[in-house]
Amino acid sequence: MIKTLYQMLVEEFGRLKWWPADTDFEVIVGAVLTQQTRWDNVEKVIARLKGAGLMSPEAMSNVPVAELEMIVKPAGFYRQKARRIRHIAEYFGRNPMEEVFMLPDKVLRSEMLKLPGIGNETADCILLYAAGKPSFVIDAYTRRMCRCLGIEGDYHELQEMFEAALPRDLYVYRQYHALIVEHGKRYCLKKKCESCVVSKLKGIF
DNA sequence: CTCCAGGAGTGTA
DNA sequence: TACACTCATGGA
């Protein structure tokens, strides 16, 4: 029997607890803060925001950007990110999250894309981890993995490929994304690719 | 010291 | 459509 890539990754990494957060708003803020930035760096900022009582649309939208910048600094790109999460806070201050999340998936996605600082990947992270919509996330690690398999394509082409091959299931999408990132952090650096499960899969996928 | 991390926006050809 | 450039701190 031929194992799927997903099964092989599960065997190696098991169940992964992914994107721990107390609230959906925290997921969204974290999604923006982690852009091109290590997660452990983002954790400091999230802790600071919580400590300052700012981890809510209402509270954050009333803080001077300058003050947010100081808090966001450890996550890098602090000037843009401070402004962007504040803008997002204002948006959800005007539009209650429960209502926004009730929009049809595609409408919700394009709605998120309108917000400055939210591109394809961040939008899908919001859908998948905050709104609970099965939208497959394509990140840098996913692209590298696909390249290893000889698969090229833009964001939507790769996303369509995964979604067509998988059951449209929230848990599967979340786990697969988590597994790919975990795999990538372990192997997709410094030419460690030779020993990873993806390399064993060439010609089978 | 160098390199780069779970991107996005803008400008140019 | 396809790149190049910018944003920025902190850890290996």
The pLDDT assigned to A29 comes to 98
Enter the tokens of residue A45.
């900022």
Q: Is the CB of A75 under 7 A from strand B?
A: no
- The mean per-residue pLDDT over the stretch A47-59 comes to 98
pLDDT tens, position by position, A129-185: 999 999 999 999 999 999 888 898 999 999 999 999 999 999 999 999 999 999 999
Q: How confident is the model at residue A204 (pLDDT cuts 50, 70, 90)?
A: low
Q: Is the CB of A91 under 7 A from strand B?
A: no
Q: How confident is the model at residue A197 (pLDDT cuts 50, 70, 90)?
A: confident
d(CA A105, CA A134): 9
Q: Is the CB of A37 under 7 A from strand B?
A: yes
| CA atoms in the 13 A half-sphere facing the CB of A79 | 0
d(CA A46, CA A64): 17
Q: Which residue is nearest to nucleotide C1 (CA to C1')?
A: A154
pLDDT at A103 over 60: yes
Q: Is the CB of A147 under 7 A from strand C?
A: no
CA of A78 to C1' of C9 (A): 8
Report how far apart, in Å, the C-alpha atoms of A45 and of each of A30, A74, A190 are: 9, 7, 29
Q: Is the CB of A151 under 7 A from strand B?
A: no
The pLDDT assigned to A188 comes to 82
Tell me the whole-structure pTM to 2 decimals: 0.95
Q: Is A154 helix (H, G, I), strand (E, B) or coil?
A: coil
Q: Is the CB of A39 under 7 A from strand C?
A: no
CB neighbour list of residue A154: distance below 8 Å, 6 or more residues apart:
none
CA of A7 to C1' of C5 (A): 40
Bases of chain B below 7 A from a protein C-beta are: 5-9
